[in-house]
Amino acid sequence: MKKINNKIKNSFGRKVFVVFNGILLFCICLVFIVPLWNVLITSVAKDQDVLGNVYLIVPKSFSLKQYSRILQSGYFKSFVRSIIIATIGTMFSMTITLPAGYTLAQKNLVGRNLFMNLIIITMIFDVGLVPFYVVVRMYGLINTYFALVIPVGLSTFNLILIKNFISSIPDSLIESARIDGANELIILIKIIIPVSIPIIAAITLFYFIQYWNRYIEVVMFIHDNTKTTLQVLLRTLMFESESATTGAESVYDNFKMAIMVMGMLPVLVLYPFIQRYFISGIMLGSIKG
């Protein structure tokens, strides 16, 4: 038996496959890394090195000049603004998502099916951007920071993830606290939150990145450039200067890349943490509701 196993394992075709597979996956990794690396090294290159040169993998110079330029520009202000919006937004989102997830996880909740259906309908039937804009304008939120937080404050997907996680906590834990006379808010804070730290951390990160990456809602709701976010300014810098090739004052690539690095920064910093939660498979069971 063992002999046959070894034979299969070491057969020539298998060896070729293993080598080929390794090379293929290595190349695939390069496809993901090279563009990011290129952005990074270009952002720290000196002006003369990026002017029409092939600047691909080997850095030729190192200078933080572009970053110090950004520090004094409106881009840095929008970076700080984006961080603040994402932080406040995430706190707002968590304060409505977490309690709602807890309530919906209660199996004997009055009208549980009704609530769940109302929520799922919004996933099946997309509301549409134009009515969404009309309503936000009607509420008087246009050109206010509230528009960047409240109308986009809840994600049904995140809500269902939290609800599913809390459903998997043994009822006995909650019931015994109820018998002791603890009210629901206390149960949520003292019992549910401590055992749900992994999912709470994951959802917090998702929300933060969603706020950070948001683009179209910002364009729709904020018409004032001094209130806008970094993503919107990055889009203008990259795409509008690109389409107006003639006449427009050209910005060097290293400056553009430095802004791009700023646009990716929070994601790069948070990514190792997010990745851990995904690998542990939280998402998988939850996707299926």
Partner 1 sequence: MKNKKVRLIDRINQQKFLLLLLLPALLWYLLFRYIPMMGNFLALTNFGSSIHIKFVGLKNFIRLFQSLDFYRAFNNTLILSFANIVFYFPLPIILAILMNELYHVKMKRLVQFIVYIPYFFSWVVVGSIFITMLSPTSGIINKIIEFFGGKSIYFMVSTFWFRPILIISYIWRQVGYGTVIYIATISTIDPELYDAAKVDGANHFQRVLHVTLPCIKSTIATMLLLNLSHVLLIFDQIIVMQNAAVYAVSDVLRTYSYREGLENMNIAYGIAVGLLTSLATAILVLSTNKASKKFLDESVF
User: Taking CB under 8 A as the criterion, which residues in 101-160 touch partner 1?
Assistant: 102-104, 106, 109-110, 115, 118-120, 122-136, 139, 150-151, 153-154, 159
Nearer to partner 1, 139 or 198 (CB): 139
Residues in 170-189 that interact with partner 1 by CB under 8 A = 183-185, 188
Tell me which residues in 259-288 interact with partner 1 (CB under 8 A): 260, 263-264, 267, 270-271, 274-275, 278-279, 281, 283-284, 287-288
Note whether 207 binds partner 1 by CB under 8 A: no
- Region binding partner 1 by CB under 8 A among candidate stretches 29-37, 61-69, 71-79, 165-173: 29-37
User: Closer to partner 1 at the Cβ: 89 or 153?
Assistant: 153
Question: Can residue 41 be called a binding residue for partner 1 (CB under 8 A)?
Answer: no
Pick one of 16, 19, 23, 28: the residue that binds partner 1 (CB under 8 A).
Answer: 28
Question: Which one of 3, 8, 179, 247 is in contact with partner 1 (CB under 8 A)?
Answer: 8
Q: According to the binding rule CB under 8 A, does residue 228 interact with partner 1?
A: no
* Residues 242-261 interacting with partner 1 (rule: CB under 8 A): 242-243, 253, 256-257, 260
CB nearer to partner 1: give 83 or 154: 154
Specify whether the CB–CB gap between 39 and 262 falls below 8 A: no
Give the residue, chosen from 55, 75, 165, 255, that forms a contact with partner 1 under the rule CB under 8 A. 55
- Cα–Cα dist 25/100, whole Å: 42
Contacting range for partner 1; rule: CB under 8 A; set: 66-74, 83-91, 194-202, 211-219: 211-219
What span, in angstroms and rounded, lies between the C-alpha atoms of 100 and 55?
51
Q: How far is the CB of 102 from partner 1 (least distance, A)?
A: 6
Using CB under 8 A as the binding rule, whether residue 220 contacts partner 1 is answered as: yes
CA quadruple 130, 143, 234, 40: dihedral positive or negative? negative
Q: Does residue 35 touch partner 1 according to CB under 8 A?
A: yes
Least distance between partner 1 and beta carbon 157 (Å): 10
Alpha-carbon distance of 231 to 262, in angstroms, equals: 10
C-alpha span between 151 and 148 (Å, rounded): 7
User: How near is the Cβ of 77 to partner 1 at its closest, in Å?
Assistant: 18
Whole-number Cα distances in Å, 7 to 13, 42, 221, 241: 11, 50, 65, 61
Contact 253, 50 (CB under 8 A): yes
Count, residues near partner 1 per rule CB under 8 A: 99
Q: How far apart are CA 217 and CA 100, in angstroms?
A: 24
Q: Of residues 16, 17, 190, 193, which one binds partner 1 by CB under 8 A? A: 17
